[in-house]
Structure 1
Amino acid sequence: MFPKQNKILRSHSKNLFALVLLVCMQPGLAFGNELSDTVSNFWLWDFLGRLHPIITHFPISLLIFACFLEIFTLGKFQHPMRQAIRLMVIFGAIAAVFSAIFGWLLSSRQGISGDTLDLHQYLGFGTAALSVVLVFFSRKTEAKPNTHFIQIYRGLLFLTGFGVGLAGHFGGTLVHGENFLTEVLPWNEEMQAPASLTVNLANLGSELSNTEEVELAANVRAILAHNCYKCHSGAKVEGELLLDEKEFVFKGGENGPVIIPGNASQSELIRRINLPKNNKKAMPAKGKLLSADEIDILTFWINQGAPWPDGVQQQSVYRVADLAPRNPALPPAKVGLNNPIDLWVDSYFEDNQLTWGKETDDRIFLRRIYLDIIGLLPSPEELEAFENDTNPEKRTVWCEQLLNRKEDYTQHWLTFWNDILRNDYTGTGYITNGRFAITDWLYTSIRDNKPYDQLVKELLNPSEKSKGFIEGIRWRGTVNASQRTEMQAAQNVGQVILGLNLKCASCHDSFISDWKLEEAYAFANIFADSTLEISRCEIPTGKFAKTEILWEELGDIDSTASKAEKLRQLADNLVQPANGRMYRTFVNRIWKQLMGRGIVEPVDEMDNLPWSQDLLDWLAVDFVENGYDIKRLILQITSSKIYQMESFPVASPDLLLAEDFTFQGMIRKRMTAEQFSDAVGNLAYPLFDSAEVKFKPYELIPEAQIGTSIPRASLVANNAFLTALGRPNREIVSTSRDSQASLLQALELTNGGRLNTALLKGGEYWAKQYPRGDDLINALFSNALLRSPTEKELGVGRQLFGETTEAEEVQDLLWSVFLLPEFQMIY
């Protein structure tokens, strides 16, 4: 069952049942309600779910074809096709059952929901059940071909055929949209105009004022953006036709102009959008045709001479967040809500008809803040002191105390910063001096709680110790233009500091935003010693980039200045309070680190809609007004009422990215690789020795034992164990880690030599310290889970031990406790 423990279990076969009981009795393991553990996240279930679209075609084709053939046998039941029909029914029923099971796996594993899905599932399971009954009566008619059985069989067959067809229709609706079947019908050709249209042609005369021209042209841009940009913009160009800028709209494509101002009837654009959808030259070629109102506006516009005043801005099909800061007024004060964060959350709850959850108990809260603030487990003695603390503000006070444990705080948060700043101790670039570590500078900055604006300035206008972030990796051999170090700097600064994806725009105009290739190069030019030539999809264009910040509102960069001076100007301009986006990006990252999900998700795409714009904006402004104090921000969040509520499990990470996400409180999180390693090292035996520590802020004790300092995993070079548990290689920026268990993690925890060694040595220590089984079980549960074992757990544990405790038996117990969701999760 568990390969790594095979040798142990063979020698302790009497303990196998006890071990399985101990693990499986815990809430959330194996077949419990929690989907965050290894077993229920096994990859096979996801794989089988994704077979649903393939296998579902079998019952649709076989059962419906069986119905069709059955029609030919209505006059004579014992027809030559009878055996073929029976085979179709049998195999169709088998396929229907498996299709229903796989479909259920797909919807539950992928977090799919909705009324259409419910109908699809009801019909799918109903059809599967009917098909099983159908097979039964098919066999009955074979054994006793009387009229009664034949009538029931045929009724069930046609009902099953209808059901499988209807279920298939709703399945198609889920995939292609609710109008997929009906939108091609003649009476559905005319559709409503989009809400973005604001012009009323009935109110316009033959002579247009300047204001009317601007409004008309703006509506034209909106129509083009929503219907044509996907094939005719910088992101994708078909037929050499671009419709996203004035110059290109009137230039036309490979066959010449598509617009003849003043003559809509002779304009190719109008001809194409009026063609029926089944015509291969109809435009748009993909998706819905333009509505009658949209066609009328374009026709009117061209007949008016296609006016395009300078006041018309390019229409974006993407949401674009404001750059400037915004400081919304706090909601009215409420009794029991002393933290401003809670006032915003309460307002959100009221707007969404949600209620506050239950406050978590002292044990869960203390474990939570220890892991979140310093990355370590609290001791039983610390829990006792916390529970006996009578200060009504003790939770805030204890958070402050943890923040003041400078070394512990720094060594925990070093992991967060190493990930997002792409800093590591070994790896690509270090051997060839094509990459520079920033660990010394970073460690000191975290420990001293350097203000965030100053930290960013030192990253952008670096000293020798902090230059590694914008210097990037100088890859050996030939690299593409989008991976040259100047472009790496632009991409990394955009992603980490501004919550912006410039990777697409580094090669061509972005497919996922409005950012253009020229803008990405202009930003990258700030980090260059000389002016960069623009390459589009690896082909030099002969054009040279400007030197500009991505938003002109933030100031200018002197293109003639030296690289050092350009970086100084960039640093000064980017960190100014007017750059609200930068500070919203940062507070959103810290919120996610503590609460399990950002106010905006993903955290690198800050143009996405936040679940609370007011909270995000207020947090960012408050952060700036209070000195860019990172520890104060962490304290502000951890001392809030919403942070102290019970956490929520999430069935699938996809649900956290859903556009209709509803915030209810903290999302239950899995320990990081570093947190788990440190916990195991403290409780059993250190997983890493001093030789693996690549950064030593102080002299580590050479042979760490229980109760003494151990090498913190954040200071250790990456290895197979940490990789399996989720640490990235840091050759690229990593701003989020997958908190779900993986197959690789399961294999490492059950078959990995590093953990096995730590458990064996830990077993020797515990067996020596606690000769009596009951004492050992109580001590282990107290230290690992901050509670006493239940009677059932104690009874199962006793089955492991004889008269005295043995190291291998203790190893089994340690392993089973460390695999518990209660241990691995931050509740």
Structure 2
Amino acid sequence: MHPLMVHFPIGLLCVAIVLELIDWKRKSEGLREAIKLLTRIGAISAVLAVIFGLLLASQEESSGTSLKIHQWAGIATMTLSVLAALSLSFNNRKAFRSILFITVCGVSFTGHYGAMLTHGDDYLSSVLPFSEPAKTKGAEEPQFALISNTGALSPQQIQQLNVEVRTILAHNCYSCHSETKTKGELRLDSKDAIMKGGEDGLVVVPNHPDKSEIIRRITLQQGDKEAMPTKGKRLTEKEIRILKFWIEKGAVWPDGKEKSIYRVAALEPRTPAIPAASGDIVLLVDRFVNAYFQKNKIGWKPVVDDRTYMRRVYLDIIGLLPAPEKVDAFIADTRPDKREVLARELLNRNDDYAQHWMSFWNDALRNDYSGTGYITGGRFDITKWLYTSLEENKPYNWFVKELISPTKESAGFIKGIKWRGTINSSQRTEMQAAQNVSQVLLGLNLKCASCHDSFISDWKLADSYAFANIFADTLLEINRCDKPTGKIAATKILFPELGEISVNKSTEKRLRQLADLLVQPKDGRLYRTAVNRIWAQLLGRGIVEPVDMMDNIPWSEDLLDWLASDFVTNGYDMKKLIYTIVTSRAYQLPSSTIKEPGDMMSENYKFTGMVRRRLTAEQFTDAISSAFNPMYADSAVVFKLLPEKFKTKLPFARAGFVKNDPFLTSLGRPNRETVSTSRTSQANLLQALELTNGSKFTETLRRGAKEWKVKYPNADSLVTELYKRALGRNPIPKEMDVARKILGPKPSEEGIQDLVWALAMGPEFQLIY
């Protein structure tokens, strides 16, 4: 009915405007009556078109920007057509012509977006003589690596192939052939359903893609009434080849449950056997790394020098540069355990430690000092609680308990953000709590499964809502893609092996029960996730990557499991975990570089030492403040609610406590409206523009240059002091010569600014080696 009601008024209104143009000079009474009749019928048809269109959208469960534009353009066109009919009734010919012209334009605009919905975004370009046939699009995409395999597939290859196949089916076929909508009695969302076929018979014949109906349908020419998918773009050549290859291999599917398609890491903890010591490889972390090196034929490199280690461990533990006199003393120290002593000293600087690690946890727990929700009371900060927890080195199990079963000061994490206006069902506060707890604490992604069954894991929509119910005051109705299903979700934990949640208890008691279940020592996933995050923070890449996908294969499963086991054994002590890592020989290896950002996530990644990384926004800012001039000198910019006894003892405000601004944003500090568990280490254009033209950095250099000019009127003494503060060393002769040329015979403010800028832009300052 919708196409019928749409196409009818299109023709009538277009004819009406043509007749009106003809009648412009002829003034024919007969034409005017015809125009009046056509306009009225067109207006009535436009109203019916909108009504049937809205009904169609609700039945099809459609969504998206194009649909919204089509809907509102249709409503606007309907309104204009009614106004045109009314203006004609009141004999206002001038207004009628203007409105009718706009109405016909609206019909064309609305029809364009309607055609995009029905025939795809390329419905116009695809039929032009010079257009590339849709079937060949994507033919130049890189081919799936397994397609060239002519032999039997290993279990890992079968798993990889099935992930590819299931992803193709999910993105192209589930909208019509799944549990929620089953056309032709055909479902493609499980092994049994695929092999069963539909009302027309089998769609997959193992080992015979040429006899499989699914292959015939997806390879038909565009426009054929039997071609699949019927909506949207056709499958690419790569996707078709993968499906053919899958069927050639017998439409293989992993044995056992459907969940085995995706790797699921073990929940329970494991304490692996500790490899034997070998020569000077005696620390337990290094023994596991040594076993990994032997397996992968990687040799140990000499550890970094004292200056490099000191700068590295200072920045990693307290986020500050070491003072020049501290560097000199450390280098002169002859004690064999001086690195262990240094690590303990830094970890005992509780205030500095907490001020640095606040930024890491603020990102992860989406805690900030300003932004969405704070003005309207729809969001609460946890700054006092978080800072105190870090300063006191609260055991991690209690840290987690107080986040899930919160005190008043720690409740902001699971309360989430109460967004203003209408929101998607997946962003209600209970769903935010389920998503954030699962991501931060358990290293799994429920965001996809908060709208529909996940395409990238086996988590279902019902799982997300059941977990969200633990945080809810009333039972939640499941919404699929923001459409109510009429089903009320159950209430249960994601991993039933940990225990059951009492449904009849109050929300407060359910949260206490959930906290107790999650922090049990038998929840190996909780503690593996934590130690993996800390390893990634200190060495630039997790043992598992990405750190939010803990079902991925670690580069050393034994090392990960042992670190988690040792973490629990040592009383969930975060500082002991950091000490264990930074005193290991593995941490002290020379840093390595990653050529491409994608290499960090590669399955072929090989650990050889710390990944060289750029200073974070806060580290860079504090480095400038300590080495040259405070960037945030006014203590008023520090977050006011911080307890007085924990205020910074430095002559400048630590960047971790400053409200976000364009400078910090450009250097990578997130807005923290959502969980952020990693920051990119790649330089970008925004950062380059801010550091070259930004007012904040320029003003800091200008203020500092005035003071340095007075304090160090001699160029050589100025350069030497600046190098010591910024890089922890004296300038070499070549560097001194260049600096003298920049400063001139008598240092000027402009010359000092240029020299500091050049130092700050250099890799030795910006990177952690």
Task: Give the TM-score band, short-chain normalised.
Answer: 0.7 to 0.9
Cα separation, partners in 2 of 1:235 and 1:350, compared to 1, 3 Å? farther
Report the Cα offset of residue 242 of structure 1: 2.5
Alpha-carbon distance in structure 1 between the residues aligned to 2:657 and 2:494 = 36
Matching residue of 1:242: 187
Describe the SS at the equivalent of 1:535: strand
The CA deviation string for residues 264-312 of structure 1, in whole angstroms up to 9 with x for no partner, is 99x99975369699567799956242678855999xxxxxxxxxxxx95
- The correspondence for 1:758, drawn from 691, 700, 717, is 700
The CA deviation string for residues 574-597 of structure 1, in whole angstroms up to 9 with x for no partner, is 111111111111100000100011
Report the Cα offset of residue 382 of structure 1: 0.2
Q: How does 1:603-682 map to 2 (within 5 A)?
A: 603-682=547-626
Alpha-carbon distance in structure 1 between the residues aligned to 2:544 and 2:358 = 23
Alpha-carbon distance in structure 1 between the residues aligned to 2:736 and 2:156 = 69
Cα separation, partners in 2 of 1:616 and 1:356, compared to 1, 3 Å? same
- The correspondence for 2:376, drawn from 432, 435, 440, is 432
- The correspondence for 1:691, drawn from 607, 630, 636, is 636
Alpha-carbon distance in structure 2 between the residues aligned to 1:519 and 1:274 = 33
Matching residue of 2:242: 287
Cα separation, partners in 2 of 1:297 and 1:515, compared to 1, 3 Å? closer
Cα separation, partners in 2 of 1:763 and 1:581, compared to 1, 3 Å? same
Cα separation, partners in 2 of 1:248 and 1:529, compared to 1, 3 Å? farther
State the one-letter code of the partner of 1:604.
D
Report the count of equivalent residues: 608
- The correspondence for 1:824, drawn from 744, 752, 766, is 766
Describe the SS at the equivalent of 2:698: helix
The CA deviation string for residues 692-726 of structure 1, in whole angstroms up to 9 with x for no partner, is 11144447999x9xxx5210001111011100111
State the one-letter code of the partner of 1:762.
G
The CA deviation string for residues 614-634 of structure 1, in whole angstroms up to 9 with x for no partner, is 101111111111100000000
User: Does structure 2 conserve the Cα–Cα contact (< 8 Å) formed by 1:273 and 1:289?
Assistant: no
Matching residue of 2:399: 455
The CA deviation string for residues 631-667 of structure 1, in whole angstroms up to 9 with x for no partner, is 0000000000111111112222211111110110001
Q: Is the aligned partner of 1:389 residue 2:333? A: yes
Cα separation, partners in 2 of 1:228 and 1:712, compared to 1, 3 Å? closer
Matching residue of 1:176: 143
Q: How does 1:131-142 map to 2 (within 5 A)?
A: none
Q: Provide structure 1 residue ranges, at least 5 long, that are not aligned to the other structure.
A: 1-170, 199-218, 299-310
Describe the SS at the equivalent of 2:584: coil
Report the Cα offset of residue 252 of structure 1: 5.6
Cα separation, partners in 2 of 1:269 and 1:318, compared to 1, 3 Å? farther
Describe the SS at the equivalent of 1:541: strand
Alpha-carbon distance in structure 2 between the residues aligned to 1:197 and 1:671 = 38
Alpha-carbon distance in structure 2 between the residues aligned to 1:400 and 1:554 = 36
User: Does structure 2 conserve the Cα–Cα contact (< 8 Å) formed by 1:400 and 1:635?
Assistant: yes
Matching residue of 2:452: 508
User: Does structure 2 conserve the Cα–Cα contact (< 8 Å) formed by 1:252 and 1:258?
Assistant: yes
Cα separation, partners in 2 of 1:658 and 1:312, compared to 1, 3 Å? closer
State the one-letter code of the partner of 2:677.
T
State the one-letter code of the partner of 1:576.
Q
Q: How does 1:555-594 map to 2 (within 5 A)?
A: 555-594=499-538
User: Does structure 2 conserve the Cα–Cα contact (< 8 Å) formed by 1:224 and 1:244?
Assistant: no
Alpha-carbon distance in structure 2 between the residues aligned to 1:296 and 1:470 = 43
Cα separation, partners in 2 of 1:658 and 1:807, compared to 1, 3 Å? same
Q: Provide structure 2 residue ranges, at least 5 long, that are not aligned to the other structure.
A: 1-137, 229-238
Alpha-carbon distance in structure 2 between the residues aligned to 1:337 and 1:418 = 36
Matching residue of 2:683: 741
User: Does structure 1 conserve the Cα–Cα contact (< 8 Å) formed by 2:169 and 2:188?
Assistant: no
Report the Cα offset of residue 313 of structure 1: 2.2
- The correspondence for 2:213, drawn from 258, 269, 272, is 272
Q: How does 1:316-327 map to 2 (within 5 A)?
A: 316-327=260-271
Alpha-carbon distance in structure 2 between the residues aligned to 1:817 and 1:329 = 48
Report the Cα offset of residue 232 of structure 1: 6.4
Alpha-carbon distance in structure 2 between the residues aligned to 1:512 and 1:297 = 19
State the one-letter code of the partner of 2:242.
G
Matching residue of 2:723: 781
Alpha-carbon distance in structure 2 between the residues aligned to 1:276 and 1:538 = 31
Describe the SS at the equivalent of 1:542: strand
Report the Cα offset of residue 681 of structure 1: 1.1
Matching residue of 1:90: none
- The correspondence for 2:472, drawn from 525, 528, 533, is 528
**TM-score, normalised by the number of residues in structure 1:** 0.69
User: Does structure 2 conserve the Cα–Cα contact (< 8 Å) formed by 1:373 and 1:403?
Assistant: yes
The CA deviation string for residues 49-74 of structure 1, in whole angstroms up to 9 with x for no partner, is xxxxxxxxxxxxxxxxxxxxxxxxxx
State the one-letter code of the partner of 1:236.
Y
Q: Is the aligned partner of 1:231 residue 2:147? A: no
Report the Cα offset of residue 388 of structure 1: 1.9
Report the Cα offset of residue 357 of structure 1: 1.5
Cα separation, partners in 2 of 1:383 and 1:556, compared to 1, 3 Å? same
Report the Cα offset of residue 750 of structure 1: 0.8
Report the Cα offset of residue 520 of structure 1: 0.7
Describe the SS at the equivalent of 2:743: coil
Cα separation, partners in 2 of 1:813 and 1:274, compared to 1, 3 Å? closer
Alpha-carbon distance in structure 1 between the residues aligned to 2:278 and 2:291 = 11
Alpha-carbon distance in structure 2 between the residues aligned to 1:471 and 1:480 = 17
Report the Cα offset of residue 801 of structure 1: 3.3
Alpha-carbon distance in structure 1 between the residues aligned to 2:763 and 2:172 = 49
Matching residue of 1:6: none
Matching residue of 1:47: none
Alpha-carbon distance in structure 2 between the residues aligned to 1:743 and 1:224 = 39
Q: Is the aligned partner of 1:352 residue 2:271? A: no
Cα separation, partners in 2 of 1:605 and 1:566, compared to 1, 3 Å? same
Matching residue of 1:770: 712
State the one-letter code of the partner of 2:622.
D
Cα separation, partners in 2 of 1:256 and 1:232, compared to 1, 3 Å? farther
Alpha-carbon distance in structure 1 between the residues aligned to 2:176 and 2:710 = 75
Cα separation, partners in 2 of 1:553 and 1:800, compared to 1, 3 Å? same
Alpha-carbon distance in structure 1 between the residues aligned to 2:250 and 2:156 = 12
Matching residue of 1:304: none
Q: Is the aligned partner of 1:548 residue 2:492? A: yes
Describe the SS at the equivalent of 2:389: helix
Alpha-carbon distance in structure 1 between the residues aligned to 2:484 and 2:646 = 53
State the one-letter code of the partner of 1:671.
L
State the one-letter code of the partner of 1:658.
S
Alpha-carbon distance in structure 1 between the residues aligned to 2:370 and 2:386 = 16
Q: Which has the higher contact order (CA 8 A, sep 6+)?
A: 1
User: Does structure 2 conserve the Cα–Cα contact (< 8 Å) formed by 1:376 and 1:679?
Assistant: yes
Report the Cα offset of residue 463 of structure 1: 0.8
Report the Cα offset of residue 394 of structure 1: 0.6
User: Does structure 2 conserve the Cα–Cα contact (< 8 Å) formed by 1:422 and 1:731?
Assistant: yes
Alpha-carbon distance in structure 2 between the residues aligned to 1:246 and 1:274 = 17
Report the Cα offset of residue 178 of structure 1: 6.8
Alpha-carbon distance in structure 1 between the residues aligned to 2:315 and 2:748 = 31
State the one-letter code of the partner of 1:562.
S
Cα separation, partners in 2 of 1:599 and 1:748, compared to 1, 3 Å? same
The CA deviation string for residues 224-243 of structure 1, in whole angstroms up to 9 with x for no partner, is 88756742699934442334
Cα separation, partners in 2 of 1:771 and 1:345, compared to 1, 3 Å? same
Matching residue of 1:401: 345
User: Does structure 2 conserve the Cα–Cα contact (< 8 Å) formed by 1:366 and 1:383?
Assistant: yes
The CA deviation string for residues 102-145 of structure 1, in whole angstroms up to 9 with x for no partner, is xxxxxxxxxxxxxxxxxxxxxxxxxxxxxxxxxxxxxxxxxxxx
Alpha-carbon distance in structure 2 between the residues aligned to 1:701 and 1:557 = 41
Report the Cα offset of residue 731 of structure 1: 0.2
The CA RMSD over aligned residues, in Å, is 3.3
Report the Cα offset of residue 333 of structure 1: 1.5
State the one-letter code of the partner of 2:213.
R
State the one-letter code of the partner of 2:661.
N
Instruction: Report which stretch shifted further, 267-276 or 677-686.
Output: 267-276
